[in-house]
Amino acid sequence: MFDKGVIKLGNKDSSHIDENLDVDILLESYDKETSKLRKLGGNIKNITRAIAIAMSLFHLYTAGFGTLLSYKQRSLHIMFAFVLGFLLYPSSKKSNKEKPSLLDYIYIILTVVVFGYIFVFSDTIAAKGGSATNIDLVLGLLAILITLEITRRAVGPELPIVAILFLIYAYFGPYMPGLLAHRGFSIERIISHMYLGLEGIMGIPLGVSATFVFMFILFGAILDKTGVGKFFIDLAYGLTGSFKSGPAMTAVVASGFMGSISGSSVANTVTTGAFTIPLMKKTGYKPYFAGAVEAAASTGGQIMPPVMGAAAFIMAEFTGIPYSKIIIAAAIPAILYYFAVGTMVHLEASKLGLKGLPREMLPSIRKLLISKGYLLVPLISVIVFLVSGNTPTLAAFKAIIISIAVAIIVAIVKKDKSFTFKDFLDALEAGAKGAITVACACACAGMIVGVVTLTGLGLRIAEIIVTLANGNLLLTLFFTMIASIILGMGLPTTAKYIVLATMAVPALVTLDVNLMAAHLFILYFGVVADITPPVALAAYAGAGIAGANSMKTGLQAVKLALAAFIVPYIFAIDPHLILVENVVGGEVQFISVFQALPVALSAMIGIVCLAAAVEGHLIKNTNIIERIALLAAALLLLKPGILTDSFGIIVLVVIYFLQRNKLKNPPAFE
């Protein structure tokens, strides 16, 4: 959401910042969603803005005063999103980028007719119980085609292609081999299931988009207008600028702050990277490394509470586990992700012999908190609301009201124009536009889920995975990880999660993996796909800012995040890392943080061992024997236990002191 303006650093050491980096231009270059948008003008621009604002106001009203019935809430949400989508996203690169075509207006009319029909006749449709008239079938076929087309435009061709393959599978079931075979369904049955039921286009994914997700996207857009993005960067710079890995650690911390409420790897990379990447380059980091640090750090935002990405809200619906409990479970793994990236960054700085900046050249934390600390109030409030039992939708609504109130009060007290009515309208518009791709992805992915539930494919895939792994848990986790990363390369995180939640999670649960851990496992590795070549958009955005080779930056980003790959395996084997004892009927039995400490410490040791092995440096460069020993220790620490933990600690301590004795200068970790 933090995607506007030119990033500058307060009033300290501005010589380190390239003030010519415009975030809008960078987003257009590297963010698939932003780069496709039309540059509308005249009356159509005003009409589009009015529709976007109306969409946000509709969601604000229903969040505060009660959502409509499922059919009505979802159909109106999809009408808003699709109409905006056809206005803003051209059908191809050759299409007019300044105004919609006649075809776009036809699609808009069809969208209103097809989904307006569901809105108006929702009671009749619900009473039919899935039976369809000829009119239903015609409108249903149009709904499928419209959904595929707008998703192709806004998200990309990969997800619609996957959806089409699933629809074909639903029809040709009897001709499929082995476990994939099923009795097959008629075209009429498939259309009816996709259009009229709540397990197709109008299914759970779209329901989550129409409630939780939209409100948090709007929350982020409003926070953006209050200046919280720049505040986070200044705060992170003040906290970490004096470290040996200073600017790079600033990127890690700032991206963690902003990612916690952003949910977009690319937007996060561009916004913080416009400041941190030039600074890293001037400090001594190579361009590709600077870009990789920012990409790896920004990508972790999708697993960082309190907001995380859209997939986390869908997880709450799929599992029946309250969102407030999901963010509690996700907290330690998210912190460990950033600890892993930070460790790699620190070791690289140590290897290069870099030094931090003097404290007098950095922003004052005390002054920053006094002058801008009020920006933290909405973030603290949303956490309080979530933990206190409010639904995510209501929590976001209350936090938005508080954000607006705080911004208005500050503007009045300071007698400036830091937040105006135009800023409020701009935030409403930005929130609606930011929700288009999520709504499209959820509607299209809903068809995939519909086929899975209709055919029972999920259980078949689970059986195939378990069979291939021969019942071995680690192999099953490994296959699931590969599937998550591969799907994540071509699909948005939300869509990837939906697909794997219906197909791969049952395999993990079959092998007694905790339900919460299984869902977090696939989410974690789907997120990592944003920095995994060949489709690594966050890494490519970082490379563009750094002026580095895209593929080299992507590979370095994977290397930086590699130590984090150990974390999901640990919590899949021992869910104490996610503070969970068990999940029974959607009720999570939590353990205390103190009970989770042994597993968390084991994970941290494993991360340090793996980081040192990959980086080839602990407090000095490691030799081949030391690297092998550190790698073995990291792998053994996948399974927490007295023997494995003892081995890992002994290896790390022995190598540390052996290297320390060879050094004349104090070691990096002192």
On the question of pLDDT at 632 being above 50, the answer is yes
Q: Which residue has the tokens 């912190």?
A: 335
On the question of pLDDT at 111 being above 70, the answer is yes
- Is the peptide bond preceding residue 534 cis, with omega within 30 degrees of 0? yes
Confidence of residue 488 (pLDDT cuts 50, 70, 90): low
- pLDDT given for residue 624 in this prediction: 92
Question: DSSP assignment, residue 621?
Answer: B
* 3-state SS track over 289-343: HHHHHHHHHHHHHHHCCCCCCHHHHHHHHHHCCCHHHHHHHHHHHHHHHHHHHHH
- pLDDT given for residue 518 in this prediction: 92
| Mean pLDDT of the 583-604 span | 82
pTM, whole model, 2 decimals? 0.79
- pLDDT given for residue 22 in this prediction: 53
On the question of pLDDT at 323 being above 90, the answer is no
CA 76, CA 116: separation in Å to the nearest integer?
Answer: 7
Q: Which residue has the higher pLDDT, 191 or 245?
A: 191
| Mean pLDDT of the 398-404 span | 93
Helix ranges (H only) for 172-286 are 187-195, 204-208, 214-226, 228-240, 246-262, 265-283
- pLDDT given for residue 10 in this prediction: 38
Q: Which residue has the higher pLDDT, 599 or 264?
A: 599
| Mean pLDDT of the 134-148 span | 96
Is 68:58 a contact under the CB 8 Å cutoff? no
- pLDDT given for residue 666 in this prediction: 53
> Per-residue pLDDT tens for 36-45?
688 888 899 9
On the question of pLDDT at 125 being above 80, the answer is yes
Is 354:247 a contact under the CB 8 Å cutoff? no
- pLDDT given for residue 169 in this prediction: 94
CB atoms within 10 A of CB 24: 13
Structure tokens at 594: 């103190």
Every domain of the chain and the residues it spans: 29-203, 592-670
- pLDDT given for residue 75 in this prediction: 96
> Per-residue pLDDT tens for 446-459?
999 899 889 988 77
> Per-residue pLDDT tens for 493-533?
778 788 888 888 888 888 888 889 999 998 888 788 778 77
| Mean pLDDT of the 479-491 span | 76
